[in-house]
Amino acid sequence: MADDLLSQLKSMTTVVADTGDLETIRRFQPTDATTNPSLILQAAQHESRRARLAEIARHATDIDDALDAVAVEIGGEVSALIPGYVSTEVSARLSFDTDATLARARSLIERYGRHGVGPERILIKVASTWEGIRAARILEREGIHTNLTLLFSFAQARACADAGVTLVSPFVGRILDWHKAQEPDVDFSGDRDPGVQSVKRIYEHFKGHGYDTIVMGASFRNAGEIIALAGCDRLTISPKLLEELAGTTGNLERRLVPLDAETHAPEPQDEAEFRWEMNEDAMATEKLAEGIRKFMADQRKLEALLGELRKG
């Protein structure tokens, strides 16, 4: 009898849990885990955390201090359950501020250190704006690993690789969402999925030019997208889709295979080239802006929750 798809996937791809839920992580035993403002909000709303959140809020110097304390508290708990990286996000509010991103990233690493979690276990998540990528370049030179998120275009991927970031998170499902809205009658299943095609292009470019940056597909809408990217360096998967893969048997074929680098990396982009290519890519421009807004919407909800707890 064939093994379940999740077990087979783990033999060719590093599986990452896209959640801050500890029970999910215990059950599926991923190597890494990713969080973002939306997932931190979900985790923070568990009744079992209420008293601890109130304590953090009351002792914080301000809301930003409370936000980072909560993120590191949850990230520290997650790190105790997995052998690999925990991704923790810099506030989306800082997506266009290189200096503020640097300061916040360094502060998060210091906080993790006080929790006994070393920098080698942490990926600082930063939005793939020009300013975020510039910050990531500096952080990597300081020994702070980064995960460039909200990545929708080849231009963003190229800039991230040029910056030497540890990992990129190209979003699959949100790319599909945009194309389905534009062309609702088109079949985007399997290899026709534009999000899947985007990750494959990035993966092949990185491997073909000898970049060390890890490619981690993210934001999946269905198990078919994951199956189409089997063999990718990493895939970060929601609890619902982890459940589906674990409950499905069959033969999983490796779809992405790393090839030896054949050519030297192209010349790095400059800022003008990056911004022009983003301007030419309506999908990437719209989804990047939308993603930052959505993360901020959930961050504001968490800020409101912590604000109420501070008063109480």
Confidence bin at 20 (pLDDT 50/70/90)? confident
Out of 125, 200, 207, 287, pick the active-site residue.
Answer: 125
pLDDT of residue 1: 56
Q: What CA–CA distance (Å, rounded) separates 173 from 160?
A: 20
Confidence bin at 241 (pLDDT 50/70/90)? very high
Which domain does 38 fall in, by range?
A: 5-311
Confidence bin at 261 (pLDDT 50/70/90)? low
DSSP-H helix ranges across 189-270: 194-208, 223-228, 239-246
Both structure tokens of 283: 């999908």
Distance from CA of residue 172 to its chain's centroid? 11
Confidence bin at 237 (pLDDT 50/70/90)? very high
Q: How many domains does the chain have?
A: 1
Average pLDDT, the chain: 94
pTM of the model: 0.95
Q: Is 249 left (phi over 0), alpha (psi -120 to 50) or beta?
A: beta
Q: Report, as an integer, the average pLDDT of 302-311.
A: 87
125 flagged as catalytic = yes
pLDDT of residue 54: 86
- Do 151 and 126 contact (CB within 8 A), yes or no? no
pLDDT digits (tens, 9 = 90+) for 87-144: 999 999 999 999 999 999 999 999 999 999 999 999 999 999 999 999 999 999 999 9
pLDDT digits (tens, 9 = 90+) for 87-103: 999 999 999 999 999 99
pLDDT of residue 163: 97
CATH number at residue 69: 3.20.20.70
